[in-house]
Amino acid sequence: MAPVQISAVSAQPRTHPTAGQRARQFANFANGTTLLGLALARSAGTAITRGPAGLIIASGYRWRVPFAGAFTVGNVVICRVGAGQLTANSALLGHEARHCSQYAWCLGLPFLPLYFLAAAWSQLRTGNPASANFFERQAGLAAGGYIDTRTPRPAPGGAGGIEV
Ligand SMILES: [Zn+2]
C-alpha cells in the first residue's frame, strides 16, 4: 500500500494549531481514530489535505453512507465538497472540529457507540437524530446545518410544572 499523500490547501491561510488543538491532534492519533479516518478516507478515494487547527480534510467523499455532507473520524473531517469549500464554511468546519474534540474526550472509538445511542435517543424524543443528540447540540445544531425541532412542552397542569 502506498503512503497517504498529504498536501497543503494553499487557498486558505493556516495558522499554527493552539495547544488545545495540538492536544486533540495527539489524542486522536494515539487513540487510533485519526488513522482509522485516514484509512476510510483513502478507501473512499478522497483527496486528503491538511486543514486548519490540526485537522485533516478528506474531500470528494462519494459513498452513500453515512448520509451527511460532512462527518469526522478522529481528526479527519470527511466531506463531499472540495476542501476549499469546507474551509470557507467556518461554521461547519467549527462544528466538525468540535466532533473531533468529542472523539478525544471519549478516548477514541467509544465516541461512535455513544454518538449512535445519542442519535437513537434523539430520534425517539424528537423524530430526528440531531435535535436532542448531546453531541450534535454540543457541536452546534445550526452550525451543523440542523434545525432544532425541539419545542417547549406545555407545563403539566398549567404554569408551575417542571420540565426535565
Ligand atoms: Zn455534527
φ, ψ for residue 16, nearest 5 deg: -70, 145
- The CA 145 to ligand 1 mean position distance, Å, reads 8
The pLDDT tens digits for 34-50 are: 999 999 999 999 999 99
- Which residues of the chain fall short of a pLDDT of 70? 1-14, 151-164
φ, ψ for residue 47, nearest 5 deg: -90, 125
Stated pTM of the model? 0.83
The pLDDT tens digits for 53-83 are: 999 999 999 999 998 999 999 999 999 999 9
- The CA 123 to ligand 1 mean position distance, Å, reads 15
- The CA 72 to ligand 1 mean position distance, Å, reads 8
